[in-house]
Amino acid sequence: MDSVSQGKRLGAVKLSRVTFRATNRDDNPTTLKEPVAPLTSRGPLSLNPPPSEGASKTTEIKRPAPAISMKGLLAAQRITRELKNRAFLRRKSRARTPNRKPTTIINEQVPAGSANPTQRFPYSQAKELIQEFLTAKLRNITYDPSTSADLTKNLCEDIKKMVRRVTPPRYKLICNMAIGSKNREDILMTSQCLWDSYSDNVTSCSYQNATMFCVVSVYAVYFE
């Protein structure tokens, strides 16, 4: 009896322990509040950072922009201007291309009845030579009626020899010169010839100093 009763008591003790633990976990009000209390004390979650942390972040993000130098600004403006000019020229060339007509080279036609020299008289080059010659010869000359005739003849011969060096072959040269006194008077000189306007040509120069004036005309006539 003692062993049976002792066994029952042990079994009762085991059951009491199991039931004690179960009732202790469910019925004890303190055990229920302990896990809930930390959650209620924390409060709702907030996504916004604390004021001190947000202020530090805003100060770090809002940094002053680097200052632009005047030299860099001028360089940028110059580059922009060059690019605009290139684009304008490119558009202009493209616009002209479709409307461009083919260029036809027409050789100079020899008039009927005119001579056709291989080289024509270089009147502009002859004019430069005559102008330099008159300036060098008459710069320090004073007008004298007694010596004007000889001076005119000598200057004409020198001018023909000088112009002959640049004249093509088969051209004849005629030199006409007039020298007069410069006494506050105006003089008008003209000449008229009947010749071949295609092959023949003429050049003229004038010079004056304090006492005299000089007018020279050189005619180049082509001879076949």
Domain residue ranges in the chain: 123-222
User: pLDDT at position 72, please?
Assistant: 80
CATH topology of domain 123-222: Ribosomal protein S3 C-terminal domain (3.30.1140)
- Report which of residues 30 and 88 the model is more confident about: 88
Single-letter amino acid, residue 94 = R
- Which of 4-13, 27-36, 68-77, 82-91 has the highest mean predicted lDDT (pLDDT)? 82-91
- Report which of residues 134 and 61 the model is more confident about: 134
How does pLDDT run across 122-145, given as a tens digit for each residue? 999 999 999 999 999 999 999 999
- Using the predicted structure, report yes or no on whether residue 100 has a pLDDT greater than 70: no
Which two three-digit tokens encode residue 26?
Answer: 């469910």
User: pLDDT at position 71, please?
Assistant: 79
pTM (predicted TM-score): 0.51
- Report which of residues 34 and 168 the model is more confident about: 168
- Using the predicted structure, report yes or no on whether residue 92 has a pLDDT greater than 80: no
- Report which of residues 98 and 151 the model is more confident about: 151
- Report which of residues 18 and 204 the model is more confident about: 204
Could you tell me if 219 and 130 are in contact, meaning their C-beta atoms sit under 8 angstroms apart?
Answer: no
How does pLDDT run across 157-184, given as a tens digit for each residue? 999 999 999 999 999 999 999 999 988 7
